Chains A and B, each alone.
Chain A
Amino acid sequence: NAGVTQTPKFRILKIGQSMTLQCAQDMNHNYMYWYRQDPGMGLKLIYYSVGAGITDKGEVPNGYNVSRSTTEDFPLRLELAAPSQTSVYFCASSYSIRISNEKLFFGSGTQLSVL
């Protein structure tokens, strides 16, 4: 198993550009998440999904969109990139929503800079 795979690893965007961060998992996990990590800060939840076709907002959803057409894929879309979206983005997945029973598996991150 590859686990959680994120692409790209690095990206530089100009203000106003759009892009999609890709995330795929091959563990047949129902639950997938997108977090952002700013320097010196913990991870903040952007969006999450409890299964194909179902998504919900996290703590910091503004400026982002997600879709979940398959169990495996959970792309994150930035429509109009802003400097405030410069961050490291992590995708994660879990089998159960009960974190106490199941691990949260993280991808290796996407470093995004908006200039």
Chain B
Amino acid sequence: GQQLNQSPQSMFIQEGEDVSMNCTSSSIFNTWLWYKQEPGEGPVLLIALYKAGELTSNGRLTAQFGITRKDSFLNISASIPSDVGIYFCAGQRDETSGSRLTFGEGTQLTVNP
């Protein structure tokens, strides 16, 4: 099946640092999504991207839909302790083929105060 490769697997950073993570695929996706999951909870949508090249911000978070439609990037600026969690990318290939979201393996982010 389709696979999303997300990197890095984990990050340990100091409060105030910027963070970058990315997701790549061998297949084209028409929608890219970024989710955050906190311990004991389900994922929550952070940013949705709909067009190749699109750059979208949500507060300190910025995500980009790659030009090739095979990758996406998430940046977090000036990290704070509450940014801790697992960040997942997800792609949807075809809106008409059912809700077949493909998820990356996640990036575990730890922020040291």
Size category of the B interface is: 20 to 34
A24 to chain B, nearest CB (A): 14
Is the CB–CB distance between B92 and A42 below 8 Å?
no
Whether A42 contacts B42 in the complex (CB less than 8 A), given A31-B99, A97-B98, A100-B50, comes out as no
Asked whether any CB of chain A lies closer than 8 Å to the CB of B106, the reply is yes
Q: How far is the CA of A59 from the CA of B4 in the complex (A)?
A: 14
Is the CB–CB distance between B99 and A108 below 8 Å?
no
- List chain B positions with a Cβ less than 8 A from chain A: 1, 4, 6, 9, 30-31, 33, 40-45, 48, 50, 88, 90, 92, 95, 98-106
Q: How far is the CA of A108 from the CA of B42 in the complex (A)?
A: 5
A95 to chain B, nearest CB (A): 11
B103: chain A residues at CB < 8 Å are 42-44
Q: How far is the CA of A80 from the CA of B68 in the complex (A)?
A: 44
A100: nearest residue on chain B (CB-CB)? B31
A115 to chain B, nearest CB (A): 21
Chain A contributes a number of interface residues (CB within 8 A of B) equal to 27
A44: nearest residue on chain B (CB-CB)? B103
B6: chain A residues at CB < 8 Å are 42
Whether A48 contacts B98 in the complex (CB less than 8 A), given A40-B105, A40-B106, comes out as yes
Which of A4, A31, A42 contacts B105 (CB under 8 A)?
A42
Q: Can you name 7 extra interface pairs (CB under 8 A) apart from A42-B104, A45-B101?
A: A31-B99, A40-B9, A42-B106, A48-B99, A90-B42, A90-B43, A108-B42
A112 to chain B, nearest CB (A): 14
